[in-house]
Amino acid sequence: MTTIAPVTTLSKLVDYFIWFANDVGSYLSNQKLQKLLYYAQAWYLAFEDKPLFEEDFEAWVHGPTIPALFYEYKEQFGFKPILKEVEKPEFPEDVQKFLDDLFDDYFFRDAYELELMVRREDPWIKARGGLPKDEPSHVIITKELMRDFYKNRVIEEEE
């Protein structure tokens, strides 16, 4: 995949996800945040053929994870809800529409359900390369793998 500048930054997306959780009074854990970010990146790659943000996910035991972000929020909140006040970030209209649609499909699922979903999908499975499900891994789930898998799902749904 050629290098294309990401549409936004990870920190801006994280702030939006936290803002949204606060706005609707929902529980947002570090684990759930990771899965929502994964689906945002995956579907954006599928529809737009470019990354939403720059960072890569690793194929961790509990699903795709951005290590630096995981450790940042683990240090601040442990395994409790992420509770902090943030301003609502602004996005271009097309990105906001994409996020609204994504949230309709994924936001109100719990973290465990999201984990089970991603662990049944090819990008996580292929990145782990046959490791047992409980074996630690730091292998990158490539953006190409994500894009191709979810683009194929879009095509299947359109047929």
- Angle 14-3-154 (CA atoms, 0-180°, nearest 5)? 70
Global pTM exceeds 0.75: yes
For the chain, list residues with pLDDT below 50.
Answer: 1-2
Question: Per residue, what are the HEC states of 70-114?
Answer: HHHHHHHHCCCCCCCCCCCCCCCHHHHHHHHHHHHHHCCCCHHHH
21 is a domain residue: yes
What confidence score (pLDDT) does residue 3 get?
58
What confidence score (pLDDT) does residue 80 get?
92
What confidence score (pLDDT) does residue 7 get?
83
2 is a domain residue: no
90 is a domain residue: yes
SS3 category, 140: strand
Residue with tokens 């699903």: 63
Choose among 84, 59, 54, 42: nearest CA to 136: 59
What confidence score (pLDDT) does residue 2 get?
47
86 is a domain residue: yes
For helices 143-158 and 30-48, what crossing angle results, to 10°? 70
| Nearby residues of 55 by Cβ (< 8 Å), 6 or more positions away | 10, 66, 68, 69
Domain span at residue 32 reads: 10-158
Residue with tokens 């191709």: 148
How many domains, the chain? 1
5 is a domain residue: no
130 token code pair: 């046959």
91 is a domain residue: yes
Residue 82 · residue 28 · CB < 8 Å: yes
What confidence score (pLDDT) does residue 6 get?
81
4 is a domain residue: no
Give percent of the chain above pLDDT 70.
97
Residue 7 · residue 43 · CB < 8 Å: no
